[in-house]
């Protein structure tokens, strides 16, 4: 079985909150609000500790399973016939795995939800790019810090 670096998973779990603060703040905050037909005033009165705490907990779960999936793709068969984990660990390689998972799993789900919820194309695109970036960075951190 492969080893789990919980510090790397915890750092990777912070990525969506930290990146989200920039991405949905100064970078694309107004475009994101417009895509939802919201104003900054509409965002007031939310339970911020619950929202950010839940997001962090859920990001920890995502990071843990991202580690698990990356390690499953890193397996090789050793000379004795045993499965060997952890053959190639770099930031770029982990980012590639993260992008692959985002494209193959996360983005189709976001698009499906957006279509059923009649979300604006801009909102779907903003969310897809955000999670693509998150998975790339999280995968890179998890794979390099093994």
Q: For residue 38, is pLDDT > 70?
A: yes
Domains identified in the chain, total number = 1
Instruction: Check pLDDT > 80 for residue 84.
Output: no
What are the φ/ψ torsions at residue 90 (nearest 5 degrees)?
Answer: -140, 165
Whether 1 is in a domain gets the answer no
Chain centre to alpha carbon of residue 14: 10
User: In this structure, is residue 78 part of a structural domain?
Assistant: yes
**CA dist., res. 72 & res. 83, Å (int):** 10
Is 101 among the domain residues?
yes
The answer as to whether 109 is a domain residue is yes
pLDDT-derived band at 65 (thresholds 50, 70, 90) equals very high
| Mean pLDDT calculated for residue range 49-53 | 96
pLDDT score of 67: 93
pLDDT digits (tens, 9 = 90+) for 96-125: 999 999 999 999 999 999 999 999 999 999
């Amino acid at each position: 079985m492969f080893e789990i670096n919980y510090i790397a998973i915890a750092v990777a779990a912070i990525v969506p909150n930290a990146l989200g603060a920039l991405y949905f703040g100064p970078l694309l905050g107004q475009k994101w609000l417009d895509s939802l037909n919201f104003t900054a005033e509409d965002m007031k009165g939310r339970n911020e500790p619950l929202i950010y705490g839940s997001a962090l907990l859920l990001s920890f779960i995502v990071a843990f399973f991202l580690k698990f999936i990356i390690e499953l793709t890193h397996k090789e068969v050793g000379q004795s016939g045993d499965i060997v984990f952890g053959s190639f660990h770099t930031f770029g390689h982990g980012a590639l795995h993260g992008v692959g998972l985002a494209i193959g799993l996360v983005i189709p789900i976001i698009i499906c939800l957006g279509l059923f919820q009649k979300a604006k194309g801009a909102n779907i695109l903003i969310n897809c790019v955000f999670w693509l970036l998150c998975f790339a960075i999280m995968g890179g951190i998890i794979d390099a810090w093994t």
